[in-house]
Structure 1
């Protein structure tokens, strides 16, 4: 299982997408659970490392989605992703992966059209900020 951050601008009600490092696809920040951190705390740290987001994380997940993670040589493994809502209060311009990713705000409906994962599309289409 991985944890992900659905980053919300409370003022505009838009969500943040970032590009993946490998393919440049639009995704939400995500990563592996971290020892000593709650799932929402790990999602918040991923949001900062991958997108420069500062904010507050909702402890209870807002949903889940699955995808197949490439392992090289055509091999994939199924991954279940637990999604936590992050209410953004600041965006840093300097963060660990700033030179590796692009980031952009979209309405949830726009974001749903841009991500590849069907279950994430559904989560975004049904999201009511």
Structure 2
């Protein structure tokens, strides 16, 4: 069984047992020369998203979010200790949909890698928070992106 099939099996079983399904996401950001904040979204299969994935045993959630940022968007930097919020979405599995709650950890980007693990499948885009909010599909994530802009400028 490959990793994706195992992930779907485990996630589907947890959902059927009524267990909450959780993921972690990085919110990569940087400041422009004039002090404004920009957020990095990655694009896969036509959707703009934050780099996200599953919590990892033995690692804090924020570190798992940072690893996803490196693998999915090719960025590294300093992670914030605390989440800035969460959002919900419906994950499509092979034969069902399951609700997932995603905890979001800011990542102040210090380096963009020229090559990264998922480079062939994803594109990255730096956007102002209000632009990013318009491009994501999840309403609560859009609201989070809009509300975080003043805070990112102070980080």
| CA root-mean-square deviation | 1.0
Q: Does 1:6 align with 2:30?
A: no
Q: 2:57: which partner in 1?
A: 35
Matches within 5 A, 1:51-66: 51-66=73-88
Of structures 1 and 2, the larger Rg is shown by: 2
Deviations 1:41-100 (A, max 9, x none): 000000000011110111110010000000134x20000000000000000011100111
Q: 1:68: which partner in 2?
A: 90
TM-score relative to the length of structure 2: 0.79
Structure scoring higher RCO (CA < 8 A, sep ≥ 6) equals 1
Q: In proportion to residue count, which structure has more helix?
A: 2
Q: In proportion to residue count, which structure has more strand?
A: 1
Query: 2 CA distance for matches of 1:43 and 1:10?
Result: 20
- Residue 18 of structure 1 aligns to a residue in which SS? strand
Deviation at 1:24, TM superposition (A): 2.1
TM-score relative to the length of structure 1: 0.94
Q: 1:109: which partner in 2?
A: 130
- Residue 72 of structure 1 aligns to a residue in which SS? coil
**Among candidates 91, 111, 128, match of residue 112 of structure 2:** 91
- For structure 1, the 5+ residue unaligned runs are none
How many equivalent pairs are there?
Answer: 126
Q: 1:19: which partner in 2?
A: 43
Query: 1 CA distance for matches of 2:91 and 2:37?
Result: 30
Deviation at 1:16, TM superposition (A): 0.1
- For structure 2, the 5+ residue unaligned runs are 1-21
